[in-house]
């Protein structure tokens, strides 16, 4: 079979790379680039020689689910943000020289989600079910001189397989490792520091050797943080498990404030020839836990100021490169955190490398559950058979990282397997303690509690028998740029909550992403950025609790970044497709919450003010709560140059912000921070007019590891005075040219379903949006043309429209670019009938502006924007949400997991949401998902249904978490069109994830509309 051009290029590159490295005794080859991919399934794809020339060519990491985007009915359901699963195949060609055939070659994958299978030259190697674990295979005996083929099948056919969004595919780095037959066993190096004091530290280095050791020596060298050799030991190899002990004088300790790293170099020697060599970084730190006084690091009592973070939190789904991942983690570090909990699974090794380097303590976590929690998750598919192999890989891989300070075995799960897991883990690493996120606390060294740790009764009445950490608290929500003065509780106000008063007697803000009349349920509001939207406690109150209780070791807030998925849990389902619990949104824009934590957790003088000062539909004189977060001594507020007085940040939760009640008038609002009476920082807002300019900024993230550079392009809507227009929602278009690939476009909008990867535009969300780019290998030049049709979508402020276009040099030498804009207002094609844009113009209600951008005479962008009183954000009044007052939580049946002949319909009236579920004389089942962030307890529920089959009860079996509860009877309601009634039930929900299932019993079922939890 003739080799196509794509294969020739790949072979040439691989051959050259291998040639350069062939003299090394331990070679690690970047295997990320030039893969072929197809989202299909065919057994022939595993064969050595097939025609894959039509497949997509791509570089790892890759996440096909994120690439495909949001789809109504997406396989992953609400938990996965309505993304899809499926089965995909990857293939890659690589060259092997003859001398390599006498060595050992491993293929190493840092993360493939999930059920991956690997073939080399048509030979089946193995399967790995867990999607969040590294693994490697010895492929030596299947290799041959010249061209070789690797094929990888990734199976996500069974969905949902997680309770949040998960990637699909090879989402983390891949490398080829070539070593001699005698070599250091992968993951066998274990560096322990059993004794550390001010003047001296003990270091023990263990290893395991594969292969023949006769006549060989083993050497270990230790290096200082500056790279100076401190000590070494070289002895004849007497056994395959050598262990050396060293003493280091005046050890420098690793901490979040000073992340000091040492290096160990381990070598196998044949005379002076190096047979194998591995470099391992490690650090010196002491960790102690006390029941009464909490967490101690290096002899100091430290509060853990942490965040939980899904691997998928942020703008790229699961396909993180190291530069992008460093940006993400550094963004969190800048907020003032000192700890992070990767929830609820291990991450690729580069995550821990970065945490080591920038100073983040890591609670390393292995599983969400030890049994089924999502319908098709690892707990169901593979846990019993695979957990020991996965725990061994996890601990032996990660145990040398200075950042890891405790192991977490699970999350909101319970099982008799817990004691065995702790013992198994302790045999792999006896130097650290074990905990979980609310899983079998009686079996753990450290008691971890999730949402239950937010309750007043827990905080004020808990009697601790062992050290405690809040593994998941607080749970608060914010939509960047959105404000409400009335308190909002996710599940209505729960018993045992701390007081969280309204900020004003009546609501003063009345804009929404969706008209409340079109909400599916009461959760479909955006969430206020005043720190008054929560399950049961505010961020401010919970920090007071952590800070002021010595027994409280610290907390991991849920979460750092917003993430895709769990869209129904808090936000009621489509069009919401992501979760807004982060301090940063999915685009990486900082929320007001981010700055609250900065004011409490950082020392460099800072100031942040909220809300913005552009309220065009607000009556003059309306009193607005103006907050300022600052770590200064005091803050003074000015409106149009007039002082409104000074306030001091307090230590009590509701005094942590400086606060003024300010009657609204247009102008300039300015805050000035003082320390010791001297100004240290100031910030201001000016009332903005309609947007007329597009500000574009570029941030480069330097390449590192096996990855090239990445770029973040930020677009913001400004008015003619260069003030941010905070309601900006016009589309921003991008034309990408040169040696970069688009990774995603993201704005943080939880209801925007525009493709993040395939579209050429993303709308501004409250004035901002971003484009993320990845540099290609050997990149030399890249440019983007960005443009927008700018104006107030509703034409309320002004009917004046501007069109903005610019060329931005991303990489390489700046090239001159002549841009021309043509537009029409009557629906005609601007390419043939367009007017040349020379300046702002007026339009009328309902006008669609079409425009093109020409670059050096060639059309590079087609744009379109509609303006009118019914466009954009919904603007209401104090009664717009009245129909939702007093309503409980409702879960739409059509959002559940449907089995058998259950199907979605809208052929009736008075149903809630987008439809209901019907059975049409056949059999099936519906599974509703409900997250209980509190303690186990009884909940009143109602199933809303309808049918008119006289004499029939249409009985359905009710299950809770796969256990039969009772049989429900659905009596006739009097109609099939609009006569809905309720069947009640009381269920005892456990803490954490709950599945509520109703199943027909042979007599079909009624229409099922919703499950209400009152």
Which residues carry out catalysis? 412
- Among 959, 835, 969, which residue's Cα sits nearest to residue 897? 959
CB neighbours of residue 123 within 10 Å: 15
Token pair recorded at residue 508? 């003063």
- Among 849, 860, 616, 852, which residue's Cα sits nearest to residue 730? 849
Q: Which helix (H) or strand (E) holds 11?
A: helix 5-21
CB neighbours of residue 986 within 10 Å: 9
Query: How far is it, in rounded angstroms, from Cα 21 to Cα 25?
Result: 9
CB neighbours of residue 102 within 10 Å: 9
SS3 readout for 393-460: HHHHHHCCCCCEEEEEEEECCCCCCHHHHHHHHHHHCCCCCEEEECCCHHHCCCEEECHHHHCHHHHH
- Among 902, 845, 891, 904, which residue's Cα sits nearest to residue 989? 891
**Is there a contact between 318 and 66 (Cβ–Cβ < 8 Å)?**
yes
- Among 788, 805, 813, which residue's Cα sits nearest to residue 738? 813
**Is there a contact between 350 and 323 (Cβ–Cβ < 8 Å)?**
no
Token pair recorded at residue 733? 């278009």
Q: Which helix (H) or strand (E) holds 380?
A: helix 378-381
- Phi, psi values for residue 671, rounded to 5°: -120, 140
Token pair recorded at residue 215? 């006549």
Residues linked to residue 995 through DSSP beta bridges, in sequence order: 929
Query: How far is it, in rounded angstroms, from Cα 36 to Cα 997?
Result: 41
560, 561, 565, 568: CA torsion to nearest 10: 70
Cα separation of the two ends of the chain = 67
**Is there a contact between 746 and 315 (Cβ–Cβ < 8 Å)?**
yes
* Angle, vertex CA 731, rays to CA 727 and CA 737, nearest 5: 135
Q: In the block, which residue shows the tokens 């690439």?
A: 67
Query: How far is it, in rounded angstroms, from Cα 497 to Cα 473?
Result: 14
> For residues 603-635, b (16+ Cβ closer than 10 Å) or e, as one string?
eeebbbbbbbbbbbeeeeeeebbbbbbbbbbeb
Q: Distance of alpha carbon 822 from its chain centroid, rounded?
A: 40
CA dist list (Å): 58 to 152, 350, 890: 14, 21, 43
Got the DSSP string for 885-897? TT--EEEEGGGSE
Query: How far is it, in rounded angstroms, from Cα 788 to Cα 391?
Result: 51
- Phi, psi values for residue 869, rounded to 5°: -65, -20
């Amino acid at each position: 079979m003739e080799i196509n051009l794509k294969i020739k290029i790949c072979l040439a590159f691989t051959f050259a790379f291998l040639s350069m490295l062939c003299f090394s005794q331990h070679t690690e080859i970047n295997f990320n680039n030039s893969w072929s991919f197809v989202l299909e399934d065919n057994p022939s794809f595993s064969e050595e020689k097939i025609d894959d020339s039509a497949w997509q060519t791509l570089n790892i990491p890759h996440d096909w689910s994120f690439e495909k985007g949001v789809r109504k009915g997406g396989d992953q359901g609400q938990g996965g943000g309505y993304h899809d699963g499926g089965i995909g195949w990857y293939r890659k060609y690589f060259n092997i020289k003859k001398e390599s055939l006498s060595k050992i070659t491993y293929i190493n994958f840092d993360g493939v989600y999930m059920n991956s299978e690997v073939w080399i030259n048509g030979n089946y190697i193995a399967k790995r079910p867990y999607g969040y674990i590294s693994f490697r295979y010895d492929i030596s005996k299947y290799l041959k001189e010249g061209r070789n083929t690797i094929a990888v099948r990734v199976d996500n056919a069974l969905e949902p397989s997680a309770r949040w969004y998960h990637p699909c595919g090879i989402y983390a780095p891949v490398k080829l490792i070539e070593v001699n037959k005698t070599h250091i066993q992968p993951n066998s190096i274990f560096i322990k520091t059993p004794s550390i004091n001010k003047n001296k530290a003990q270091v023990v280095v263990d290893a395991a050797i594969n292969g023949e050791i006769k006549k060989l020596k083993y050497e270990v060298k230790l290096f200082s943080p500056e790279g100076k050799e401190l000590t070494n030991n070289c002895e004849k190899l007497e056994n395959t498990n050598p262990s050396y002990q060293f003493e280091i004088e005046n050890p420098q300790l690793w901490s979040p404030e000073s992340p000091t790293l040492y290096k160990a170099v381990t070598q196998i020697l044949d005379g002076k020839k190096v047979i194998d060599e591995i470099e391992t970084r490690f650090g010196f730190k002491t960790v102690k836990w006390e029941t009464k006084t909490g967490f101690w690091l290096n002899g100091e009592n430290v509060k853990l100021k942490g965040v939980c973070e899904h691997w998928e939190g942020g703008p790229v789904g699961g396909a993180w490169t190291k530069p992008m991942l460093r940006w993400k983690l550094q963004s969190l570090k800048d907020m003032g955190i000192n700890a992070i909990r990767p929830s609820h699974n291990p991450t690729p090794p580069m995550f821990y490398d970065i945490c080591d380097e920038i100073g983040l303590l890591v609670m390393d976590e292995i599983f969400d559950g030890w049994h089924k929690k999502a319908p098709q998750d690892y707990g169901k598919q593979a846990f019993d058979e695979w957990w020991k192999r996965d725990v061994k890989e996890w601990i032996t891989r990660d145990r040398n990282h200075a950042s890891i300070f405790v192991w977490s075995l699970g999350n909101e799960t319970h099982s008799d397997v817990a004691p065995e897991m702790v013992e198994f883990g302790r045999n792999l690493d006896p130097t650290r303690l074990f905990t979980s996120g609310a899983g079998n606390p009686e079996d753990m060294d450290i008691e971890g509690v999730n949402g239950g740790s937010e309750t007043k009764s827990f905080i004020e009445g808990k009697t601790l028998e062992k050290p405690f950490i809040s593994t998941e608290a607080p749970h608060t929500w914010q939509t960047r740029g959105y404000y409400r003065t009335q308190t909002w509780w996710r599940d209505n106000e729960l018993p045992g909550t701390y007081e969280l008063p309204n900020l004003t007697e009546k609501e003063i803000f009345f804009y929404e992403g969706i008209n409340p009349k079109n909400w599916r349920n009461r959760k479909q509001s955006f969430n206020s950025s005043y720190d008054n939207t929560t399950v049961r406690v505010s961020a401010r109150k919970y920090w007071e609790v952590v800070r002021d209780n010595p027994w409280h070791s610290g907390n991991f807030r849920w979460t750092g970044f917003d993430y895709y998925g769990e869209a129904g849990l808090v936000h009621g389902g489509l069009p919401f497709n992501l979760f807004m619990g982060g301090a940063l949104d999915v685009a990486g824009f900082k929320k007001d919450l981010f700055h609250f934590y900065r004011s409490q957790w950082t020392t460099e003088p800072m100031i942040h003010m909220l809300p913005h000062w552009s309220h065009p539909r607000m009556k003059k004189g309306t009193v607005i709560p103006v907050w300022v977060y600052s770590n200064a001594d005091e803050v003074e507020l000015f409106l149009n140059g007039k002082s409104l007085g000074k306030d001091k940040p307090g230590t009590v939760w509701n005094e942590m912000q400086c606060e003024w009640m300010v009657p609204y008038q247009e102008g300039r609002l300015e805050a000035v921070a003082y320390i010791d009476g001297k100004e240290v920082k100031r910030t201001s807002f000016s009332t903005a007019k309609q947007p007329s300019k597009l500000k574009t900024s570029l941030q480069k993230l330097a390449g590192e590891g096996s990855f090239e550079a990445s770029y973040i392009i930020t677009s913001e809507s400004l008015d003619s005075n260069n003030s941010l227009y905070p309601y900006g929602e016009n589309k921003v278009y991008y034309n990408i040219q040169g040696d970069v690939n688009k990774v995603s476009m993201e704005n943080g909008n939880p209801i925007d379903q525009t493709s993040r990867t395939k579209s050429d535009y993303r709308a501004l969300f409250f004035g901002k949006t971003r484009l993320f780019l990845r540099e290609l290998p050997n990149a030399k030049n890249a440019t983007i043309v960005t443009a927008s049709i700018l104006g107030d979508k509703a034409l309320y402020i002004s009917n004046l429209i501007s069109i903005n276009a610019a060329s931005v040099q991303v990489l390489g030498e700046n090239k001159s670019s002549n841009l021309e804009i043509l537009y029409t207002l009557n629906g005609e094609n601007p390419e043939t009938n367009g007017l040349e844009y020379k300046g702002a113009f007026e339009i009328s209600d309902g006008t669609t502006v079409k425009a093109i951008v020409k670059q050096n005479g060639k059309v590079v962008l087609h744009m379109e924007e509609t303006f009118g009183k019914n466009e954009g954000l919904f603007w209401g009044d104090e009664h717009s949400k009245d129909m939702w007052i007093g309503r409980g939580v409702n879960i739409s049946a059509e959002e559940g997991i449907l089995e058998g002949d259950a199907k979605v319909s809208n052929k009736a009236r008075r149903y809630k949401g987008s439809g209901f579920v019907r059975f049409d004389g056949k059999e099936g089942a519906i599974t509703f998902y409900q997250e209980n962030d509190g303690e186990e307890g009884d909940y009143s529920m109602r199933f809303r249904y309808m049918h008119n089959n006289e004499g029939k009860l249409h009985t359905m079996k009710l299950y809770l978490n796969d256990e039969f509860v009772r049989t429900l009877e659905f009596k006739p309601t009097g109609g099939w069109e609009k006569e809905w009634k309720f069947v009640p039930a009381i269920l005892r929900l456990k803490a954490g994830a709950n599945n509520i299932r109703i199943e027909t019993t042979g007599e079909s079922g009624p229409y099922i509309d919703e499950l209400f939890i009152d």
